[in-house]
Amino acid sequence: MSACSLQRYVPEGKYLIRKNSIVIDSSHVAFTKSDLATYITQQPYRRSFGSSLQTRIYFISKPRIKSRFWKWVNEKLGKEPDFFDQESTDYSAQQMERFLDNVGYFHSNVTTEVTKKGFKARVKYHVTPATPYRISEISYDIADTVLADYALFFEKGFPVKKGDIYNEYTMNDQRDLITEHLRNSGYYYFNRNYIVFEVDSSQMNHTIKVKMRIDNVKDPETGKYTPHKRYYINKISIYPNFSPAMASRKPTDSTHLDVKIGRQQKINSLDCYYFGNPRIRPQTFSQVIQIQKGEPYRLWRVNQTYSNLRNFQLFTNPNIEFTPVASDTANLLDCRIMLQRNDVHSYRIGAEGTNSDRDLGIRGSLSYTNKNLFKGAEIFTISVKGGLEAQQIVGFGELENHYKVFNTREFSINSNLYFPKFLSPLRLRNFVRDYQPSTNLALGYNAQIRYYYSRYIAMASFGYDWKSTPRLQHVLKPFYLNSVKVNPIPEFQAMLDMEDNQRRKDQYTNHLIFGAQYAFTLNTQNINRTGNFIYLRASIESSGNLLSLFNNTSVITEREGHHELFGIRYAQFLRTHIDFRQYLSFNEDTRLVFRQVVGVGFPYGNSMDMPFERSFYSGGANGMRGWPYRMLGPGAYHSENNEKKTERIGDIQVELNTEFRFPIYSIIKGAFFVDAGNIWNYHENEALPNGGFKFDTFYRQIAMDGGLGLRFDVNIIVLRLDCAMPFRNPYSENGTHWRFKNMHFRDMRWVISIGYPF
């Protein structure tokens, strides 16, 4: 049907390209079909599920483009296809031959074969590679002997090696490697064009002699060649409140700052120049400016300084300039760092509607941010949030009859103070210089008022974050505090007293978490290039160990066999969590994504179970989509009773997700997905039979679901609609875990959310 609808639009004598293919007449080559495919200029018309919708829209709207509407449809929604053109096909073949020359297969032959049928054409490129030329000898000709020592510093690691097939792209990589090292060694004006490779293939035996040459600098006036100059940093000037309008004015004030660097306590001199009141302390820059007076110019220090300055939200568009200075003793560079200020104060007001498993609600928020609280580029944020929700009361006996609209109220106030420096009694100068750690202090309070209980949560944390590489980020919280106080109404307390499930009772009891946490995140994604990448986040935390040291003192009291601080039982546990994701990209819009999640919590000492908020759960929009939020598991536990509002949590989690993402049309994307996983308790619980983790049975208790989804991607936000069907239960029913024979339309779960699940 798609073909028929297109054929009547294709002009006579024209052909749409149906497919391009490449055939290489050799299996032993150092290049791939993908390398050659990039040189094909004419691409097949786009097909999504056998439909060429964009192409049809183009043809339908083309005769009507005199109308503004149809012109918009033609340009924005339609896509003009590539009609087969022999000249373009021949040009693609020529480009492939040039590529083969560049990778050592000189005088290779690429021919084309075109098959026309109906209104479609298939193009096949036949590649007959020649015998490759290999490098038989490598030599170097560097006029400047001083520069030669730096240029050949990594000679053993050069990508161009004797015996390899000639490759022009590898030579370019070597140019970049040498240039980067020289620019990190003081050669400020050096660029890759000074490096020339001379190639001699006169041996006529498919071998090549390669000579790498680095010329001196030619004076355009005299024509004489002089050695490349190695520059040293002279004066470092910082302009904290610079603006282009003030470029011609003289600063009104200045401050000199001497900074001690490294174990040798080397002095780095900085001069700050102001136009009026800068409203920032000069010491703010002592940690972030990596450029050092008296050192050779180093490009990596400049880039690190740029990165550090961009972390200051107080400034925008940092600019670093270098100017040569006349001197009889050395080649010097003056450094000017110009910073333009952002607005210090900002406000945000927000409102939203919520739908949590058919519980409707409304929320509002107000936040304020100060980007220079103590005149050191500190960022202070305070936010206030409030909301109402109409929550169903299910599973609490006679309390269900007291349901009323907006029976849940929530209020929270949170503050965060970010210091762009390392606050610690330990100096750790090398650590600070190399990794630029920042410090975070957070405080918060949350009140949840429900019909049958109220919960009050106080939170505090102190920690650091830093990057050891551009892709690896670390977060360390030496301590964090989470205090939960619950006040049930008498009727609900009476129900809890009769509850057999201790874990469920613990959800509504007072407890205290005082612990430490470390996490790291590895993300290899390059946002400027489509390709495969991985994401890994791993964390480990503990609670209660420090407090347990005071168990036999007056600080900690004992009641009913457990220990309390200020009348609240503290939790003691060890918890680790790993989230690994792998993204395989076929093109810009098509990806296959895998995710593996493993979490383990080990309660001990003062705790029999993990605290509710540090336990694991399964189900919901970003995990096991075939089950409601926190409604899967634990293990093979199954109850015939209506427990829709009994949130299920566990000490162990295993989850595997696979999702294939593909384009459908314009901003509409699609996905197929399969989820598998479950949660388990560390200790067996009589109230939750078969919910404990056992190595010989856990794999049989894996639940599975699958489905398809739509994503509406408008760049700034992604609206997601998923339809999931559970097809394997963690428990056996009628002798089987599989549900294929008893699947019904009502079992499908529709999930609406924002953003991708992972």
106 shares a domain with 253: no
Q: In the prediction, which pLDDT does 367 show?
A: 96
Reading the block at residue 186, the tokens are 């003081």
Determine the average pLDDT of the residues in 285-314.
91
Q: In the prediction, which pLDDT does 612 show?
A: 85
Asked if residue 69 is part of any domain, the answer here is: yes
**Residue 55's pLDDT band (boundaries 50, 70, 90)?**
confident
pLDDT greater than 90 at residue 405: no
143 shares a domain with 104: no
**Residue 642's pLDDT band (boundaries 50, 70, 90)?**
very low
Helix (H), strand (E) at residue 130: none
Asked if residue 161 is part of any domain, the answer here is: yes
Distance CA 52, CA 329 (A): 71
We report the CATH number of the domain holding residue 35 as 3.10.20.310
What sign for the dihedral angle of Cα 497, 500, 505, 506? positive
Cβ-Cβ contacts under 8 Å for 552 (sequence gap 6 or more): none
In 3D space, the residue among 372, 234, 240 whose CA is nearest the CA of residue 309 turns out to be 240
247 shares a domain with 178: no
Asked if residue 472 is part of any domain, the answer here is: no
Instruction: Give the DSSP letter string of 621-680.
Output: TTS-TTS-TT-S-STT---SS--TT----BSEEEEEEEEEEEEEETTEEEEEEEEEEEEE
Asked if residue 362 is part of any domain, the answer here is: no
Count CB-CB contacts under 10 A for residue 624: 28
pLDDT greater than 70 at residue 492: yes
649 shares a domain with 620: yes
**Residue 406's pLDDT band (boundaries 50, 70, 90)?**
low
* Final residue of a structural domain among 93, 128, 163: 128
Window from 20-34, 256-270, 336-350, 664-678 with minimum mean pLDDT: 256-270
Instruction: Give the DSSP letter string of 345-368.
Output: EEEEEEEEEEEETTEEEEEEEEEE
**Residue 4's pLDDT band (boundaries 50, 70, 90)?**
very low
731 shares a domain with 701: yes
In 3D space, the residue among 317, 323, 370, 307 whose CA is nearest the CA of residue 339 turns out to be 317
Q: In the prediction, which pLDDT does 50 show?
A: 44
Window from 36-40, 125-129, 284-288, 671-675 with minimum mean pLDDT: 284-288
Domain extent, residue 43, equals 2-128
147 shares a domain with 201: yes
Asked if residue 87 is part of any domain, the answer here is: yes
**Residue 3's pLDDT band (boundaries 50, 70, 90)?**
very low
Window from 28-32, 110-114, 400-404, 612-616 with minimum mean pLDDT: 400-404
151 shares a domain with 23: no
pLDDT greater than 90 at residue 154: no
Number of domains the chain is built from? 4
* Final residue of a structural domain among 128, 162, 196: 128
pLDDT greater than 70 at residue 105: yes
For the segment 557-571, what is each residue's pLDDT rounded down to a tens digit? 888 788 888 888 899
Q: In the prediction, which pLDDT does 646 show?
A: 65
We report the CATH number of the domain holding residue 550 as 2.40.160.50
755 shares a domain with 706: yes
Determine the average pLDDT of the residues in 307-318.
90
Asked if residue 292 is part of any domain, the answer here is: yes
pLDDT greater than 50 at residue 644: no
Q: In the prediction, which pLDDT does 355 show?
A: 63
* Final residue of a structural domain among 184, 203, 226: 226
Instruction: Give the DSSP letter string of 169-218.
Output: HHHHHHHHHHHHHHHTTT-TT--GGGEEEEEE-TTSSSEEEEEEEE--EE
For the segment 446-469, what is each residue's pLDDT rounded down to a tens digit? 998 887 888 899 999 999 999 988
Asked if residue 482 is part of any domain, the answer here is: no
Asked if residue 612 is part of any domain, the answer here is: yes
723 shares a domain with 608: yes
Q: Are 521 and 471 in contact (CB under 8 A)?
A: no
Determine the average pLDDT of the residues in 176-183.
96
595 shares a domain with 541: yes
258 shares a domain with 150: no
Mean pLDDT (the chain) is 87
pLDDT greater than 80 at residue 505: no
User: In this predicted model, which residue has the larger pLDDT, 49 or 631?
Assistant: 631
755 shares a domain with 636: yes
**Residue 321's pLDDT band (boundaries 50, 70, 90)?**
very high
* 159 alpha carbon, distance to own chain's centre: 30
We report the CATH number of the domain holding residue 274 as 3.10.20
Distance CA 504, CA 507 (A): 5
pLDDT greater than 90 at residue 15: no
